[in-house]
């Protein structure tokens, strides 16, 4: 939280926080610890309070179509170029995909295997962006989770898991519109 507060200031309530992929597992914790005007899940994993995400995947392995191609090494998850290109960057310009791949780092599996410390869903307006050609986080699961969240808005975009490389203009316009709508209709979730 110190890093987040140093970027946006600890007292600024007019903040829209966007989480992509695995960072979605942490997003509600930010909203639980500080005031934010909206949470946006972009092709993101969405936690269930008190439950390990690995348990969700065990119940429905189709949540993460890419997981069958992941090489688990100790307490980290590693990736190879071909599998990552097909899953994460299939619709991105290859030079950007290669650069993104070179910057990937092994991920700790802690967020997957430990129960979410979230006790209940925060009373923060939420938007879930489904990328309808996502090969990492299954679009059908993301839609289903969005319907289960309190007062969540669902936005569907064409494209795969990494729209910031494949179609940054559409993504930026979408995020700006979400932010503008949040400012115009700023209210607690319970007031909808």
pLDDT tens digits along 145-183: 999 999 899 999 999 999 999 999 999 999 999 999 987
Q: With a cut of 60, say whether residue 192 has pLDDT above it.
A: no
Looking at residue 187, its pLDDT comes to 45
Using only C-alpha atoms, the chain has a radius of gyration, in whole angstroms, of: 16
Per-residue pLDDT reduced to its tens digit, 94-142: 999 999 999 988 788 898 899 999 999 999 999 999 999 999 999 999 9
pLDDT in tens, 87-106: 999 999 999 999 999 998 87
Architecture of domain 2-185: 3-Layer(aba) Sandwich (3.40)
For the chain, the structural domain boundaries read 2-185
The 10s digit of each residue's pLDDT in 170-180 is 999 999 999 99
pTM of the model: 0.87
Each residue's pLDDT tens digit, 13-65: 788 999 999 999 999 999 998 889 999 999 999 999 999 999 998 888 888 88
């Amino acid at each position: 939280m110190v890093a987040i507060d140093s970027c946006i200031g600890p007292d600024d309530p007019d903040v829209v926080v966007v989480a992509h992929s695995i960072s979605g597992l942490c997003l509600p914790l930010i909203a639980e610890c500080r005031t934010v005007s909206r949470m946006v899940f972009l092709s993101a994993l969405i936690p269930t309070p008190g439950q390990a995400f690995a348990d969700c995947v065990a119940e429905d392995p189709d949540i993460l179509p890419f997981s069958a191609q992941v090489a688990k090494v100790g307490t980290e998850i590693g990736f190879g170029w071909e599998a990552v290109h097909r899953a994460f960057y299939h619709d991105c310009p290859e030079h950007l995909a290669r650069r993104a791949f070179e910057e990937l780092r092994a991920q700790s599996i802690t967020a997957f295997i430990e129960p979410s410390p979230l006790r209940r869903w925060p009373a923060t307006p939420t938007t879930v962006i489904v990328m309808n050609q996502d090969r990492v986080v299954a679009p059908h699961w993301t839609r289903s989770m969005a319907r289960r969240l309190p007062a969540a808005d669902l936005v569907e975009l064409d494209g795969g898991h990494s729209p910031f490389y494949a179609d940054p203009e559409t993504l930026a316009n979408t995020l700006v519109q979400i932010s503008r709508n949040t400012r115009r209709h700023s209210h607690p979730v319970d007031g909808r």
